[in-house]
Amino acid sequence: MKPIELQRKTAETAIELTFSAYGHGNAKIDTGCGFLDHMLTLFTRHGGFDISLLCTGDTHVDDHHTTEDIGICLGRAVAEAAGDKKGLNRYGSMILPMDEALILSAVDLSGRGMLVADLQIPTEKVGSFDTELVKEFFIAFAREARLTLHIRQLAGSNSHHIIEGVFKSVAHSLATALAENKALEGAVLSTKGVL
C-alpha cells in the first residue's frame, strides 16, 4: 500500500505527515515537543508503522495545539489506511505492562469516533508536557480515525510509565485491528456488510 501523505496548516500549527500502516516501525518524528516525540516514536515502533512527521507549532504558548492537531492528522491517516475495512480484523486489544503500570486498550474500526479513557495520571506534567494532553491527543485521534478506542489503566504510579504504556498498548491494538484477516476473503467483519 502506498504511504499516505497529509498536510495541515492552521494559524497554530503546520504539519506534514507520511504514514504507512504496514511498515517496519521506522520513525522520523519532530513535533517540537520532546516527550511527544518520544511517545510517537514508541507508537510507531510498537505498531509496526512507518511515520514521518514534522510539526511547527505554537509551543511557546504550550503543547496543546501541537498535540491535538497531530492527533487529528494521524487519525485521518489511519482512517484512509483502513479504507472500507474489507478483509481487516476490525478489532484489536492489548494488555501491556510497562514496569509497575498495566494498560488495557481496545480498538474497533467501527466508523464511529469515540474515546472512553480511564486514566489516573498522578502528576500534571512529565517534563514540560501537560499530562492532560494525553486524553486530548486520543480524543482527536479516535474522532478523526473514526474508530472506537477504550483505554483503561489497571495499575501504575509513575506518570511516564503510564503514558508510555498507553501509547504502546494502543499501537499494538491498532496494528491488530488493521491487519488482514484472510478468513474474511475480502469481506467486512459486520453483519451489515459495511462499516
Q: Which residue range forms the structural domain that includes residue 65?
A: 4-184
pLDDT tens column, 84-122: 999 999 999 999 999 999 999 999 999 999 999 999 999
Q: Which three cell numbers stand for residue 185?
A: 476473503
Q: Which amino acid is at 106?
A: A
- Match 476490525 to its residue by C-alpha cell: 90
Q: Is the residue at 122 inside a domain?
A: yes
pLDDT tens column, 2-40: 899 999 999 999 999 999 999 999 999 999 999 999 999
Q: Is the residue at 195 inside a domain?
A: no
Cβ-contact 176, 136 below 8 angstroms: no
Total domains in the fold of the chain: 1
Identify the CATH number of the domain in which residue 94 sits: 3.30.230.40
Rounded to the nearest integer, the mean pLDDT of the chain is 97
Cβ-contact 64, 157 below 8 angstroms: no
Q: Is the residue at 193 inside a domain?
A: no
Q: Is the residue at 192 inside a domain?
A: no
Banded pLDDT at 1 (limits 50, 70, 90): confident
pLDDT tens column, 138-167: 999 999 999 999 999 999 999 999 999 999
